Chain A
């Protein structure tokens, strides 16, 4: 089961900077979803990444990637982590957050993949992402995630 991201930033200035202007408890709770993905990715944990999604969640990436459901996402990520994405990380910051209602929200982030050992996103890897998140049984999860190349130099296709 996915773990819940910390809802407070006490003693963690990195998280304060991540949340940026989205500082309400409700916003921080929603922004735990990208944090969970970042953590799972840092461990190249395909199951962890898939578990951030709802059971029938959708993953769309530049290139011909359109995965439906945790099983497809897990298999796809496990292969990616065995291949060229081995040792990579991912990072991003929220630039927009809109609540549709109390249990559905939309997050946009700017971020990208970190090549193994890197701490900055190279222009080739820069993306902007939309996260459609829904709350079920008290837990926010990803109903759909899509990213698009950000900037003319963003050439990564999956």
Chain B
């Protein structure tokens, strides 16, 4: 096997675990938003990252509240070339549920955090729980809101 192929096999194996117990079905479709979030974060791609959100989407980053795709794009353009360059997101889904009978609005809870460049693991004092509100727009799942709070006491 070529180096490229074996590297892809390794990455895919790791990637598949991101779905945890939500591997298939409608909940996996909801959770795919968090995988795109993770992927674009690791790609340090602010444009693609912002496109994961709805136009009026929001995210709390540490103590910084960002609202609107444009604000998110601007912030992460800087952050991905600064503090989050080379960083990766590691988190595990705890709960996914639909809020509407049409199953087009969902809530997800995850636990994890951001491993900065140079770190091997997530420091326990930076672990957090996160609420995601994910909505289906024109057939595509988009992120409306993401908020985290620290887990450590």
Contact = CB atoms under 8 A, between A and B. Distances in A.
Given A96-B58, A146-B149, A157-B150, A60 B100 contact: no
Interface stretch (A22-30, A33-41, A101-109): A101-109
Interface residues of A, number: 32
A56 B148 CA distance: 20
B87 to A, nearest CB: 20
B135 A100 contact: yes
Given A96-B58, A132-B107, A132-B133, A146 B147 contact: yes
A134 B60 contact: no
Given A58-B107, A98-B144, A132-B107, A143 B149 contact: no
A66 B95 CA distance: 11
A132 B63 CA distance: 20
Given A63-B151, A146-B147, A157-B153, A104 B105 contact: yes
Interface string B124-153: 000001010101000000001101111111
Interface string B99-118: 11000010101000000000
Nearest to B131: A146
Contacts of B95: 58, 68
A1 interface: no
Contacts of A98: 56, 144-145
> Interface SS of chain B: helix, strand, loop or mixed?
strand
A130 interface: yes
A158 to B, nearest CB: 8
B109 A62 contact: no
29 contacts: A56-B97, A58-B95, A62-B150, A63-B153, A64-B152, A66-B94, A66-B109, A98-B56, A100-B135, A100-B144, A104-B100, A106-B133, A108-B65, A128-B65, A130-B147, A132-B145, A134-B99, A143-B99, A143-B107, A144-B109, A146-B129, A146-B147, A147-B149, A148-B60, A148-B150, A149-B149, A152-B63, A157-B150, A158-B153
